[in-house]
Structure 1
Amino acid sequence: MQAQDSPVLMVIKDSDGQMFGALASEPFKVSDGFYGTGETFVFTFCPEFEVGNKLMNGDNMFFIKGDMDSLAFGGGGGEFGLWLDGDLYHGRTHSCKTFGNPMLSKTEDFYVQDIEIWAFE
């Protein structure tokens, strides 16, 4: 993914059948800090389609962070908007200051049943 300099769409279906994900303004990469732009957002279809992106509130710029152990979107207040472990199997979601999003799944902790990731040209 890193070879392309394009947005990335990630859609997750969890073990409860809930669908949610993130649109990243940049390709995923290993990073010491957060990266990305205000074009990044998280979304959910639980219970209906909703997008979280409140860049204009200026709370923080914690868009995307990735390392070999996890991938995270959003932050602030000690919580990520969306977090996945390094195996992309276990995740956690919480409201966060970056996006002002609701919890994306029915429960804070979830297991990934299906995941699809697309890069745009």
Structure 2
Amino acid sequence: MGVGAGADITHGSPFAAQPFVPASGAPGFAGDRMWNKGYEFDTPSVERRSVKLVGRKEVTTPVLTVTLADEIRPYLPALARLPKSWTLLYSLDQHGISLHTLYSRCEAHVGGAVVVVRDANEAVFGAWVGQGVRQSKGSYFGSGESFLWKNNDKLKVYKWTGKNEYVALCEPEYLSFGGGDGHYGLYLDDTLFDGSSARCPTFDNEPLCSPGPKKGGAVTFECVGLEVWGIGP
């Protein structure tokens, strides 16, 4: 598939460059100290406070827990770690089974979004997209800060590799993240029930879902829980 003109990644992106190392003598240079790239908590009294999940009704079956949100948070870009609360944009249980509803509820959100999926065998996994979730109208979108993740006893994150720019493709007929070589890293059809996951060049991920039947090289799964959480404005 080609990349639409609206794609935000370029291969000159700093996400694919060599790690920046301050020059000797530069302000803040401290010789043998480890340089903090912004992905570690540096203010424990503030940053280590648990995320507050806002907008989910008590009767709604949760997919994302506060504990898991706290584990995902350190992998977000520095600015996306600042908000103290995450807002529920869409819930399969709370808002109904509709991809159109998912898009319509997410489109007004201008910040990043965490997609959280639970399959029929209780595996929980998903994606972080820095530009949120929106219908993409035939072209990929997303930036190099995006990643896939799965929580199989321990959180595992798959960062952008720079091999291609196929971060997110959200069409009326399906929702997908990661691509290349004929596979999606994470895919859900318009019923929000049938999904699949495969290794893809974008994130070089393992299949995210529980082990199951394979179709076209991808592991298929049944989605029983889906939430999209907005972070930022």
Q: Which runs of 5+ in 2 are unaligned?
A: 1-105, 213-218
| Structure 1: runs of 5+ lacking an equivalent | none
- Give, in whole Å, the separation in 2 of the partners of 1:34 and 1:84: 16
Q: Name the structure, 1 or 2, with higher relative contact order (CA <8 Å, separation 6+).
A: 1
| Structure with the largest fraction of strand | 1
CA drift of 1:27 comes to: 2.1
| Superposition map of 1:37-116 within 5 A | 37-46=143-152, 48-55=154-161, 58-105=162-209, 106-107=211-212, 108-116=219-227
* Percent of residue pairs bearing the same amino acid type: 29
- TM-score, reference length from structure 1: 0.92
What CA deviation, in whole Å up to 9, does each residue of 1:47-66 have, x standing for no partner?
A: 532111133xx310100001
- TM-score with structure 2 setting the length: 0.49
Name segments (4+ residues, structure 1) moved above 2 Å. Answer: none
Which residue pairs with 2:230 in the alignment? 119
Task: Name whichever structure is richer in helix by fraction.
Answer: 2
The CA RMSD measured in Å over matched residues stands at: 1.2
Larger radius of gyration: 2
Within a 5 Å distance, the mapping from 1:29-44 to structure 2 comes to 29-31=134-136, 32-44=138-150
Deviates more, 1:44-53 or 1:27-36: 44-53
C-alpha distance in structure 2 between counterparts of 1:6 and 1:80, whole Å: 24
Distance (whole Å) between structure 2 residues aligned to residue 97 and residue 112 of structure 1? 24
Q: What SS is found at the alignment partner of 2:222? A: strand
